[in-house]
Amino acid sequence: MDIIDSIILGIIQGLTEFLPVSSSGHLELGKAILGDESLPKESLLFTVVLHFATALSTIVVFRKDILSLLKGVLKFEWNEDLQFVSKIALSMIPAVIVGLFFEEQLEQLFGGNILLVGCMLLVTAALLFLADRAKDTNKKVTFSNAFIIGISQAIAMLPGISRSGATISTSVLLGNDKTKAARFSFLMVVPLIFGKIAKDILSGDILNNVSNGDVAHEVSGSIANESVNLINLGAGFIAAFIAGLFACTWMIALVKKSKLSYFAIYCVVVGIIAIIFALLNK
């Protein structure tokens, strides 16, 4: 993987983590387009770096909200801030369960399954079309809403299902305010990303894959060695961070203005192309 590939993947991750078009699906498509010989060797370390960059961009965009929440929680009162954080924690449960008990089954769905990506992009498009037509309200996310949104987030672990698209659409379809739905969607993923990074580090996955400057990555049952290039990692990180800042800010404005249908059309087009591509290359 050269520096151009790293930047491209960083931009893809940064944009699609927030825009409702599926980051995992686009990374799979990106690997297929740029060539299986180079990008399937994408290391676990590189993946972690990209996700850390997008999580950091979320923190920067919502820094005032996060600081306010922390101050409220530290009062140790059952106030609005502590309730919001509790809802975030509740929403994480479904994804944590899937991540802990079904990780191997989930990983089998990745690795060039372009047909699945295409079909799931069509599902994402349907959700966005429905959400864009929902009436705007002033309703806040409730505890029951938070758990249902969390289920959507767990389902969005499938390649091609947009996490932001699924969670925002679910929240809006439950009758919640669109701006509040976007805020909840973006903030709920931050602890999950850092939790996943911590799990990979504590479990030794990253350390086991890094040895003498090489990264061992499993590709379709075989092990490929990839030299860790700090410049490439840095380029990917910066690209993902900057793209994430832009996409997160833009997405909040788009949800408020009910412009999700544009992304629905995009998902339909890309989904159909992916399905055709997969069928022609069988």
List pLDDT tens digits, range 144-166: 999 999 999 999 988 889 988 99
Q: What is the dihedral of CA 261, 262, 264, 270, to 10 degrees?
A: 170
Q: Does the pLDDT value for residue 278 go beyond 60? A: yes
Share of the chain above pLDDT 90, in %: 40
Task: Give backbone dihedrals phi and psi of 25, rounded to 5 degrees, phi first.
Answer: -65, -40
211/191 Cα distance (integer angstroms): 28
Enter the tokens of residue 106.
């989930």
Q: What is the dihedral of CA 17, 22, 23, 28, to 10 degrees?
A: 180
DSSP one-letter string for 73-89? HTTTS--HHHHHHHHHH
- Degrees (nearest 5) of the Cα angle 229, 232, 236? 140
Rounded average pLDDT over 39-68 = 81
Q: Which is higher by pLDDT, 167 or 112?
A: 167
Q: With beta carbons less than 8 A apart as the criterion, state whether 25 and 120 touch.
A: yes
Residue type, 228: V
pTM: 0.81
Rounded average pLDDT over 4-17 = 85
